[in-house]
Amino acid sequence: MNEANAQRNAAGETRRRSRLFLDARTRIVAATVLLLALSLLTSLILVRQILFADLDRQINNQLEQEGEEFRKLVGGIDPRTGEPFGKDLEAIFEVFFQRNVTDEGEQILALLGGRPYKSRASGQIPVSLAGNDRAIEQWGRLSSTEVGRLETPHGSVHYLAVPVKTDGEVRGTFVVANFPAFERAEINAAVRTAAQVGLVVLVFASGLAWLLAARVLEPLRLLTQTARSISDSDLSQRIPVSGGDDVARMAATFNDMLDRLQTAFGTQRQFIDDAGHELRTPITVIRGHLELLELVKDDPKEREATVALVMDELDRMSRIVNELLLLAKARRPDFLTLEPVDLAELTPELHQKALALGRRDWRLETSGRGTVLADRQRVTQAVMQLAQNAAQHTSEDATITLGSAVSNGEVRFWVRDSGPGIAPAQHTRIFDRFSRTNSATRHSDGAGLGLAIVSAIAEAHGGRAEVDSRTGEGATFTLVIPRRGPSPETSAEWQA
């Protein structure tokens, strides 16, 4: 048992370590630190090499300067006698050594007859070249100026050797050398200090990167929490969006997706609720009559009447389902097929179609002029629904007027009847689903979805449905839509 627990604990520790290395925040910070470390290391190496190269140039320039001064002295005047030096190499070397002071890490050496004659060096040189027999022999055989580098146990040495000739024969050699070890040690010390400072900065930058990564990835953490908290009964969670970077845009896109899902689930739930609400009654009626049909099977008239009632209820169920499906589709992007519609042509067509809805005094009041960007079939469906609603709530001798007009960038289609009217208190809910008036004279065998469909078609166009009525004074229902069609903002808001 203990062994099994130990194995599970080890496996859990391995998973935790794996999550640590797979965590986006850890990967981002690790990549940042690695990049900074490589940049720091590369910078230090480049700076060190550049400083070394610059030091070598300075040393070579100093050697050339010393060599040039010596050449000028060889061809010059002995300040002690006022005469040319001629073949007196000792005098040349003596005067030069008296005039010149060696720089840091520098040594000057005079050779006569291939042997050291005189030497001077600064205090920082590790060893005198006068004791380097191999170098002395090499310089003693020179016949022309040589610039080079000599490797010693104490480091590299830069030198300039100038042979001195008299009567065409080399009698002596002037050597100026520089030991760059001290300057190189100073450069290395400066680079080490820079590396230490860079390491401190790297640690600070790593901590800052850890904090910034947490802030940048906060929307991802919220996205994960939101995704975990979402269920089919609660889609209201949203991620706070701030800024305009990629992460913020991803959070906004996720919120938009949730909006669409919430709308889809809401539409589905509304459809199920509506269907359950409206279909329960006809199903109960059909079931009762089917049970009754068994009792009256020997009476043809009763059986025929029962079948007729069942068919009527089935027809009503079919109408309800079609209307519910229409309302469910109203928020889909493809609900409307927009096209330019001529009002002068459409309005008379609406009047002609209304004549078939019942024996009423149908009148065409006025037709608007111009075109409107709309779905011709949906607009016709909405106006016909208003006309049918008016016919259902009026008697045969009633007058129903249709018309259209354009004003302030909007197109208005209206249906006015002379029925019993609607109380103002009911105006606010008249376009709700399954809403019916309380008037005893305004009655219908419909499901109460007709005006909701009219409102849905109007809102899909970016418009609205209106009612103007008083009890006993008839009612005017108006479909109002923008002349230029729905704006993108309105369409997005309606579909959401």
257-266 long-range contacts, CB within 8 A, separation 24+: 258/226, 258/230, 259/496, 260/495, 260/496, 261/235, 262/235, 262/236, 263/331, 263/495, 263/496, 265/232, 265/235
Phi/psi of residue 226, nearest 5 degrees: -65, -45
Question: Does some domain include residue 381?
Answer: yes
Q: Exposed e or buried b for every residue in 344-375, given b needs 16+ CB within 10 A?
A: eebbeebbeebeebbebebeeeebbeebbbbb
Which of residues 469 and 218 earns the better pLDDT score? 469
Residue 22 in this model has a pLDDT that exceeds 70 = no
Q: How many helices (H) and strands (E) does the chain have?
A: 12, 12
Q: How far apart are CA 101 and CA 97, in angstroms?
A: 8
Q: Please identify, among 285, 311, 328, the residue that sits at the C-terminal boundary of a domain.
A: 328
Domain count, the chain: 3
Find the CATH number of the domain harbouring 356.
Answer: 3.30.565.10
Q: Is the pLDDT score of 406 beyond 90?
A: yes
Is 250 buried (19+), middle (13-18) or exposed (0-12) by CB count in 10 A?
middle
Residue 425 carries which DSSP code? Answer: G
User: pLDDT: is 11 or 90 the higher one?
Assistant: 90
Torsion of CA 78, 80, 82, 84, to 10 degrees: -20
Whether residue 339 sits in one domain with residue 317: no
Whether 102 and 159 share a structural domain: yes
Residue whose token pair is 């608007």: 368
Q: Could you tell me if 298 and 368 lie in one domain? A: no
* pLDDT attached to residue 17: 46
Task: Measure the CA angle with vertex 406, ends 432 and 333; round to 5°.
Answer: 50
Instruction: Tell whether the model's pLDDT for residue 3 goes beyond 80.
Output: no
Q: Which pLDDT band, with edges at 50, 70 and 90, does 466 fall under?
A: very high
The reported pLDDT for the residue numbered 10 is: 55
Domain-embedded: residue 122 = yes
pLDDT of residue 417: 92
Res 31 pLDDT > 90 = no
* 285 and 344 part of one domain: no
Q: What band does 18 get if pLDDT is binned at 50, 70 and 90? A: very low
Report residue 407 as tokens.
């004003």
Residue 141 belongs to domain spanning: 83-182
Average pLDDT over residues 127-145: 85
pLDDT band at 442 (very low <50, low <70, confident <90, very high): very low
Query: Quick one: pLDDT band at residue 440, thresholds 50, 70, 90?
Result: very low
How high is the pLDDT of residue 292? 67
Q: Are residues 351 and 474 in the same domain?
A: yes
Coil, strand, or helix at residue 177? strand
- Tell me whether residue 190 is in a domain: no
Q: For tokens 């997005």, what's the residue?
A: 492
Whether residue 398 is found in the same domain as residue 364? yes
Per-residue pLDDT band at 245 (split at 50, 70, 90): confident
> Which of 5-14, 90-99, 433-442, 484-493 has the largest mean confidence?
90-99
Q: Which residues of 74-141 form beta strands (DSSP E)?
A: 106-112, 115-121
The closest of 254, 274, 255 to 266, measured between CA atoms, is: 274
Instruction: Evaluate if residue 1 carries a pLDDT over 50.
Output: no
Q: Residue 367 corresponds to which tokens in the numbers above? A: 């037709």
Q: Cα–Cα distance between 36 and 42 in angstroms, integer? A: 10
Q: Does one domain contain both 374 and 290?
A: no
Q: Which of 195-209, 262-276, 322-336 has the highest mean pLDDT?
A: 195-209
Residue 377 has pLDDT above 70, yes or no: yes
Question: Looking at the structure, do residues 262 and 343 belong to the same domain, yes or no?
Answer: no
Domain assignment present for residue 252? The answer is no
CB atoms closer than 10 angstroms to residue 476: 17
- Assess whether 343 and 324 both reside in one domain: no
pLDDT at 104 > cutoff 60: yes
The pTM for the full model equals: 0.49
Please report the sign of the dihedral spanned by the C-alpha atoms of residue 185, residue 188, residue 190, residue 193. Answer: negative
How large is the average pLDDT for residues 241-270? 74
Whether residue 55 lies inside any domain: the answer is: no
Q: Can you read off the two tokens belonging to residue 487?
A: 């704006």
Q: How confident is the model at residue 301 (pLDDT cuts 50, 70, 90)?
A: confident
Q: What is the DSSP letter of 444?
A: -
Q: Is the pLDDT of residue 141 over 60?
A: yes
Question: Which tokens belong to 326?
Answer: 């229409």
**Residue 313 shares a structural domain with residue 416:** no
pLDDT for 12 equals: 53
- Amino acid sitting at position 291: E
Give 483's contacts (C-beta < 8 A, 6+ positions apart): 370, 372, 373, 406, 409, 410, 411
The whole-number pLDDT of residue 443 equals 44
Q: Are residues 153 and 110 in the same domain?
A: yes
Task: Indicate whether 1 belongs to any domain.
Answer: no
pLDDT average, residue stretch 13-25: 56
Q: What's the pLDDT tens digit per position in 414-430?
A: 999 988 888 887 887 88
In this prediction, residues 193-207 reach a mean pLDDT of: 91
Q: 3-class DSSP state for residue 120?
A: strand
pLDDT of residue 366: 93
Distance between alpha carbon 345 and the CA centroid of its chain, in Å? Answer: 49
Give the list of residues 6+ apart from residue 350 with CB closer than 8 angstroms, or none.
380, 383, 384, 387, 402, 413
Contacts 24+ apart (CB under 8 A), 161-169: 162/67, 162/70, 162/71, 164/74, 164/89, 164/92, 166/86, 166/87, 166/89, 167/87
Are both 294 and 351 inside the same structural domain? no
List Cβ neighbours of 141 (8 Å cut-off, separation of 6 or more). Answer: 114
Q: Per-residue b/e over 180-212, b at no fewer than 16 CB within 10 Å?
A: bbbbbeebeeebeeebeebeeebeebbeebeee
Of the residues 182, 211, 245, the one at which a domain ends: 182
Q: At 145, which CATH number?
A: 3.30.450.20
Domain boundary among 285, 310, 328: 328
Confidence of residue 371 (pLDDT cuts 50, 70, 90): very high
